[in-house]
Amino acid sequence: MKPARGALEALIAGLRGQLVVTADWQALIALANHTLLTPALFDSLTQSDQSDRLPKEVHQYLRFIYECNRERNLRLRKQLHEAVVALNQCGIVPVLLKGAVPLFLSSGGRVPNRIMTDLDLAVEPDTLEVARACLINLGYAAVGFSGDGMGRPLDVGLLELRPIQRIDREPAKLASRCGVRARIPAPQSRALHWIMHDLVKEADYWRGRTDFRHLYDLALLAEEHEPDWAVLRASLPDRHTRNAFDTQLLALSHFFGAKVPEECVRRPLVRFQHWRRVFPLYHPFLGIPLRLVGNSLWALWRVLHGDGLALRNPFAMGRRAASILLDGDLGSKV
């Protein structure tokens, strides 16, 4: 999706609790829906006492989506609780990732406003098969289109079960809710995971894309926990990941006003990469060549460093390359 500048600025303002009364509401809602931020938008405006100033139809729609997502997240929390109980009974204390963390830590009728499509859990590699067997006993089955995904017909989301990756600077801390035990990554580790997942693993740094839902998650985490960005940056293994890290920090500062170290974001390369991501958002048609260059470089890298798909199945490789070039895998990103 290529959002209009006014819709994007109104969405960011709304997420910061500021209502833009002159917004194009149809464009704003379309963008909020695409980026999976509609419940967060309504919640933010409600918390800042601005939701009553919304046009009646807009207020009703946003509240409806918010309430539907709340009911869905209550079901997801019950599903997560059941899965963690089963793993505990098998002697496994899983590490919770991404949206599963605030969901597990919530209580009563209050759940996060975040839209979630799955629940991410990690276990020690030598317990992975035991963990899968535990979930199979609950009725879960592998989902073919999702490598680590397991699902059940009546659930509202998948479980993503994967081995723990040793990238965290600090060990995950044990948390207990009603006797159910899980491990929670430290805030700095969660922040690093958000950034590396989007900018490096999903190549948003190369391709000039932005996942505003994750960027908003990062902004909330930074506001609550104030990560030591300089220490996190120093832990990264090479210049490429540090450049990607700095580029996301600049986006975090630009859109959500987060405090980040000046030395991380003032380098010309970082500012150019940030401009390369922002320009197509504000100028969709003029930004097409920038996106095409980034996507082409990434497609070439995938061909040269892929899993041999180009030799085994040239047709499938061609489809994948076309999807990359045309942003066919954009999902909820912009």
Q: How far is CA 27 from the centre of its chain?
A: 22
Answer yes or no: are the C-beta atoms of 112 and 74 closer than 8 Å: no
Question: What's the DSSP call for residue 115?
Answer: -
Pick the closest to residue 185 from 263, 89, 120 (CA basis).
120
What does the pLDDT profile of the chain (334 residues) look like in tens digits?
667 789 999 999 999 999 999 889 999 999 999 999 999 999 999 999 999 999 999 999 999 999 999 999 999 999 999 999 999 999 999 999 999 999 999 988 889 999 998 999 999 999 999 999 999 999 999 986 556 889 999 999 999 999 987 665 678 899 998 899 999 999 999 999 899 989 998 889 988 899 999 999 999 999 999 999 999 999 898 999 999 999 999 999 999 999 999 988 999 999 999 999 999 888 888 888 888 888 887 777 766 666 555 555 566 656 666 666 666 677 788 8
Report the amino acid identity of residue 169. Answer: R
What pTM was computed for the model? 0.89
Question: What's the DSSP call for residue 121?
Answer: E
Query: Tokens 């950034």 correspond to what residue?
Result: 195
Q: Are strands 141-142 and 149-151 parallel, antiparallel or unpaired?
A: antiparallel
Question: Domain 73-185 class?
Answer: alpha beta
What is the per-residue pLDDT for 30? 96
323's tokens: 């999807």
Answer yes or no: are the C-beta atoms of 83 and 121 closer than 8 Å: yes
Partners of residue 175 on adjacent β-strands: 182
What is the distance between the alpha carbons of residues 254 and 40, in angstroms, rounded to a whole number? 19
What is the per-residue pLDDT for 301? 72
What is the distance between the alpha carbons of residues 163 and 144, in angstroms, rounded to a whole number? 18
Q: How many CA atoms lie within 13 A of 173 on its CB side?
A: 9
What is the distance between the alpha carbons of residues 72 and 155, in angstroms, rounded to a whole number? 10
What is the distance between the alpha carbons of residues 296 and 292, in angstroms, rounded to a whole number? 6
Q: List phi, psi (to 5°) of 184.
A: -115, 120
Pick the closest to residue 330 from 294, 283, 305, 301 (CA basis).
294
What is the per-residue pLDDT for 295? 80
What is the per-residue pLDDT for 38? 98
Sketch the domain layout of the chain as residue ranges.
1-54, 73-185, 186-334
Q: Where does residue 22 fall: left (phi above 0), alpha (psi -120 to 50 degrees), or beta otherwise?
A: alpha
Q: Where does residue 203 fall: left (phi above 0), alpha (psi -120 to 50 degrees), or beta otherwise?
A: left
What is the per-residue pLDDT for 201? 87
Q: List phi, psi (to 5°) of 146.
A: -130, 115
